[in-house]
Amino acid sequence: MEENKPNTGDFSELRSRAEEHLTEQRDENPPVSASDGELRRLIHELSVHQIELEMQKDELQQTAANLAKSRTELQQALEQYTDHYDFAPVGYITLTRDGNILDANLTAAKLLDVERGVLKGLRFAGFVADDDLPGFNTFMELVRKSGTPGNFQLRLRHTGQQSHSATDMKTVRIDAAVSINGELCRLALSDISSQKEIELENAALQENLAQAQKMDTIGRLAGGIAHDYNNMLAAILGNAELALRKADPDHPMREELETIIKVTMRSAELTRQLLGFARKQSILPKILLLDSAVESSLGMLRRLIGENIVVDWQPSNEMDYIKMDPVQIDQILINLCINARDAIIENGRITIKTGSVHISPSDCKGNDCKTPGDYVILSVTDTGTGIDQQTLPHIYEPFFTTKEFGQGTGLGLSTVYGIVKQNFGCIECTSEPGKGSSFIIYLPLYSKVVSGEEQLPPVKGVASGKESILIVDDEPHILGVIKHILEGNGYAVHAALTPSEAIRKATEHQGIRLLLTDVVMPEMNGSELAHKLKLLIPGLKIIFMSGYTADVIAGHGTLDDDVNFIQKPFSVVNLTKKVEEVLHA
């Protein structure tokens, strides 16, 4: 063949070099006799040929060495390329025109969770999540038709896997490019699961923050409205009760007055629920065993729920204590059970369950509801109609209700939400339309040594005395009502519309034993006034009153042990009992 012909130029050069080498040797050795010319020629030829062979040998050895070096370098480069390909942070896959896997690196095999040797021949689409498959097919068709590289995000699942939950899938970004002849398609797979998880967590945190800010804004509004509303109710209730006391048993307006009082008390209950949502409700925490607190309410709950619904009580039977106002436990149970009752059509079941759990920092990931620690759990589960996903985000908003007009105020769950938050807990709801709902409440476990349940001081009967009392309120109607009530029970009453007027009257009148003061007033608050008057009158007893208790207690609405407080609106009986209790404590 043409390419195997010897290169005559190379041989000529080699012969010239050999003859030069031979000439050098002749200079060193004596020449052969000239008479034997033929012998001299043969010796010359043999010598040149020998030198040629030696030179060829040297060159062949050098060429062999160079080839061996090149082969080693090529092998090293191949191994390096293979390592880069197999262990690249990106998965590489080559697909045939039919979408079957022709080749894949180790990273791709790991992403697909399949042995590399098994991958060849499998359809790549079999690893794509069902929901993402139509979009992926459309994407691949566009890339093949246009010949332009593109990228697409999808979720991968293990082949043959039926579960579609997010935790079972990996989210990847696919960069695709088609070969020039269109026969092959190369994919680069980048695992972005962690990035997507962070994005979802951030989105959830943003949503929770927005919801918390919205609930806080609504709570502030609700608390402010309830405060002003309670002041008006206090004046209405007091005047109605005073008028009823003065009316004869057969007075034609007596029934109307009683109706006013009943409606006012119902309105006061409405504002109490608003204050519960706003976390500004007056509370007196006690150390409670949760199982015992729930059991004491079961009889009342069964009467509220009715005989057609089974109440399944599942206590934990553990010594799980909480520090909370027992009235608030009743509020939580009543509101959740009434909601559950209304969600059940005809017969059904409500399950009330207690337990305990330790929440670790990892459990709080992406959820601002919980903080790490030990919690007691109270859950209420029903077999009712359930709550759809569109309604679920709004269930804690005040006045939001899905019930028909007149069947609910929309304050039940908002009250529960406010109470739970006020006690540093959190609430979760899971629901499935047609199957029912479950509310799970987490309350901090009270871990201190329990020496016995705290008891409220005994309340004495309706007051009647001659002690001197100073009352202060910037609402004239409320001031007048309180003055009439206390004077009607025999007390000497000094009324003041402002703190400065109260200080003046305290210096003018001797023997004042009790200060009954509003908390929020223009000149100074009730606490500052009480401090000034205690300096003037040693041993002065104090009762604070307000439309809500957040004015009294900065922070969480919890009454200090040494603070006497009465919530507006109050009845004649409640006011006089409170006055008697404080004066004779």
Distance between CA atoms of 176 and 186, rounded to whole angstroms?
Answer: 6
Give the per-residue pLDDT at 369. Answer: 63
Give the per-residue pLDDT at 578. Answer: 92
Mean pLDDT of each 10-residue bin along the chain, 585 residues long = 48 63 59 60 76 80 79 70 74 90 89 87 91 92 89 79 57 89 88 85 73 65 69 82 82 83 74 58 76 87 86 91 86 89 89 91 66 91 89 74 54 82 89 91 78 38 68 90 89 94 93 91 86 92 77 45 78 89 88
Give the per-residue pLDDT at 179. Answer: 85
Any idea which residue has 């894949």 for tokens?
104
The single-letter DSSP state of residue 424 is: T
What is the chain's percent helix, strand, coil content, to nearest 5? 50, 20, 30
Give the per-residue pLDDT at 196. Answer: 85
Structural contact between residues 116 and 91, judged by C-beta atoms closer than 8 angstroms: no
Q: Torsion over CA of 468, 472, 473 and 476, rounded to 10 degrees?
A: 60
* Kind plus residue range of the DSSP H or E element containing 517: strand 512-518
Kindly list the domain boundaries of the chain, sorted by start residue.
2-84, 91-191, 200-277, 286-444, 468-583
Asked if 200-277 and 468-583 have one fold, the answer is no
Strand partners, 319: none
Give the per-residue pLDDT at 445. Answer: 92
Structural contact between residues 107 and 92, judged by C-beta atoms closer than 8 angstroms: yes
pTM of the model: 0.44
In angstroms and rounded to an integer, the radius of gyration of the C-alpha atoms of the chain is 46
Q: What tokens does 240 get?
A: 């109605």
- DSSP conformation letters of 135-158: HHHHHHHHHHHH---EEEEEEE--
Give the per-residue pLDDT at 409. Answer: 52
CATH number of 91-191: 3.30.450.20
Residue 449 backbone phi and psi in degrees, to 5: -65, 130
Show the DSSP H helices in 278-313 as ranges. Answer: 290-295, 298-305
Buried b (16+ CB within 10 A) or exposed e, 150-185: eebebbbbeeeeeeeeeeebbbbbbebebeeeeeeb
Structurally, at CATH architecture level, domain 286-444 sits in 2-Layer Sandwich (3.30)
Any idea which residue has 């009712």 for tokens?
384
- For 203, other C-beta atoms within 10 Å of its C-beta total 11
Contacts for 285 with CB less than 8 Å, ≥ 6 apart: 323, 324, 325, 558
Residue type, 577: K
Give the per-residue pLDDT at 202. Answer: 77
Contacts for 197 with CB less than 8 Å, ≥ 6 apart: none
CATH number of 200-277: 1.10.287.130
- The CA-CA-CA angle for residues 287, 290, 295, to 5°, reads 120
The residue among 321, 375, 338, 376 whose CA lies nearest residue 354 is 376
Relative to beta strand 101-104, strand 91-95 is: antiparallel
Structural contact between residues 502 and 472, judged by C-beta atoms closer than 8 angstroms: yes
Distance between CA atoms of 288 and 292, rounded to whole angstroms?
Answer: 8
Give the per-residue pLDDT at 286. Answer: 83
The residue among 268, 358, 166 whose CA lies nearest residue 548 is 268
Give the per-residue pLDDT at 514. Answer: 95
For domain 468-583, give the fold: Rossmann fold (3.40.50)
Give the per-residue pLDDT at 565. Answer: 85
